[in-house]
Structure 1
Amino acid sequence: MTSEQEQAIVAVHVRGLDGMCAGCRAWWARLTPYPCWQVEWATSRQALADTARFLESAR
């Protein structure tokens, strides 16, 4: 996965007015509480990339 794909997941899977994930409802007709596993995965990947960039710049 690229950073662009992770950003797209985070952009689509947002909290709906009812507290459910709007992306899961629109794409798969699933009532999934927000944050869904896609958002958790994408944000963890972004955090890992940010940490790696920080550690690389600290060298």
Structure 2
Amino acid sequence: MNDGQEQAILAVHVRGLDGMCVGCRAWWSRLAPYPCWQVDWATSRQARTITTRFLENVR
């Protein structure tokens, strides 16, 4: 996976007015509370990438 794919997930899977994930409803016709597991995954990947970049620059 690359940053572009994570950004695409985060752009589509946003909170709807009803508190449900818009991306899950549009792609899978599934009612999932926001944040859904795709958002959790994408944000954790971003955090790992940021942490790795920071730690590489500290050395």
Q: TM-score band (shorter)?
A: over 0.9
CA positional deviation for 1:40: 0.1
TM-score normalized by structure 1? 0.99
Identity across matched positions, percent: 76
Match of 1:45 in 2: 45
| Whole-angstrom CA distance in 2 between matches of 1:3 and 1:26 | 22
**Aligned-residue CA RMSD (Å):** 0.3
Structure 1 gap segments, 5+ residues each: none
Match of 1:22 in 2: 22
| Whole-angstrom CA distance in 2 between matches of 1:7 and 1:45 | 11
Amino acid at match of 1:41: W
TM-score normalized by structure 2? 0.99
Structure 2 gap segments, 5+ residues each: none
